């Protein structure tokens, strides 16, 4: 069910975060979603019974953030792939003689 809010209300509503950006009904993926999406930070605020819940604590994280989550954890955790340099003594420049 699409969010049906008074256009004047939509004009007043703003993101509760520091950006205070205007909100848009639905999401980019689902225009009929019962959420308001911030046009700046992308947080999604649920609309319960036609009442937008503009609380940061209640907001859903931006879709972009979810999409950017790394799926290949192994590739991002270099443990054994780290180049080990055993026994490469640097020329004695520090405290030699």
Residue 5 or 41: the one with the smaller Cβ distance to Zn ion is 41
CB 42 to Zn ion: min, Å:
7
Residue 19 or 26: the one with the smaller Cβ distance to Zn ion is 19
Residue 20 or 77: the one with the smaller Cβ distance to Zn ion is 20
CB 60 to Zn ion: min, Å:
12
Whether residue 5 contacts residue 37, with contact meaning beta carbons closer than 8 Å, is answered with no
CB 63 to Zn ion: min, Å:
13
The token pair at 24 is 């848009």
CB 14 to Zn ion: min, Å:
8
- Where does this chain bind Zn ion (CB under 5 A)? 15, 17, 19, 21, 38, 40-41
Cα(first)–Cα(last) distance of the chain, in Å?
81
Please name the residue ranges forming H helices in the chain. 7-12, 63-68
Residue 13 or 80: the one with the smaller Cβ distance to Zn ion is 13
Whole-angstrom CA distances from 64 to 41, 74, 95 are 10, 22, 53
- Cα distance between residue 7 and residue 4, in whole Å: 9
């Amino acid at each position: 069910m699409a969010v049906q809010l008074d256009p004047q209300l939509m004009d007043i509503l703003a993101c509760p975060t520091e950006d205070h950006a205007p909100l848009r009904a639905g999401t980019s993926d689902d225009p009929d979603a019962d959420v308001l999406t911030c046009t700046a930070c992308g947080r999604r605020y649920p609309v319960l019974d036609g009442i937008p819940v503009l609380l940061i604590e209640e907001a859903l994280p931006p879709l972009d953030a979810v999409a950017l989550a790394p799926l290949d954890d192994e590739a991002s955790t270099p443990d054994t792939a780290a180049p080990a340099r055993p026994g490469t003594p640097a020329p004695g420049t520090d405290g030699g003689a």
